[in-house]
Amino acid sequence: HKANSSLANPRFRSSQMASSTIVKFIACALIVCMAVVAPHADAAGLTCGVVSSYMAQCVPYLTGGPGPSPACCNGIKDLVSAASTPQDRKTACGCLKSAAASTKGINYSTADALPGKCGVNVPYTIRPSTDCSKIN
């Protein structure tokens, strides 16, 4: 009978109902947050982390290694596909410019030729002087 006595205790039932209400409230709050945030997830566009992940396989070639690997060319193709809006392209340019400036030994002539070697058209070159704000 002790098990039933806890159910008969009004404090126990009240505590149980309060816990249930809190759980329901938290679940509803999470659903509302997901509904508000989800439509804006794509609006964030490219980030430098994403751009770096696409280009990571090209660093050995750009710093004097043997000609671009298939993984490097796939990364460039994926980056060009991902940079679908003018803002994405400006972001990608800025990220590439920053990465090139902070990577020792980048050969800019090799970098200029890289898109062509991979069969991709990139309408700008990555140089310290490139004005990414003019990219469409």
Alpha helical stretches, state H, the chain: 2-8, 10-37, 48-55, 59-62, 70-82, 86-102, 108-117
pTM of the model: 0.65
Q: Percent of the chain having pLDDT more than 70?
A: 68
**Do 6 and 36 have their domain in common?**
yes
- Report pLDDT digits (tens) over 12-26: 555 555 444 443 433
Which band of pLDDT confidence, cut at 50, 70 and 90, is reported for residue 96? very high
Residue 135 counted as domain residue: no
CATH code assigned at 114: 1.10.110.10
Residue ranges making up the domain that contains 61:
46-130
Which band of pLDDT confidence, cut at 50, 70 and 90, is reported for residue 7? low
Tell me the C-alpha distance between 63 and 54, whole Å. 17
Alpha-carbon distance values, 12 to 1, 15, 23, 25 (Å):
16, 5, 17, 20
- Mean of the per-residue pLDDT values of the chain: 78
Q: For position 22, what pLDDT does the model report?
A: 40
**Do 59 and 18 have their domain in common?**
no
Which band of pLDDT confidence, cut at 50, 70 and 90, is reported for residue 39? very low
Count how many domains the chain has: 2
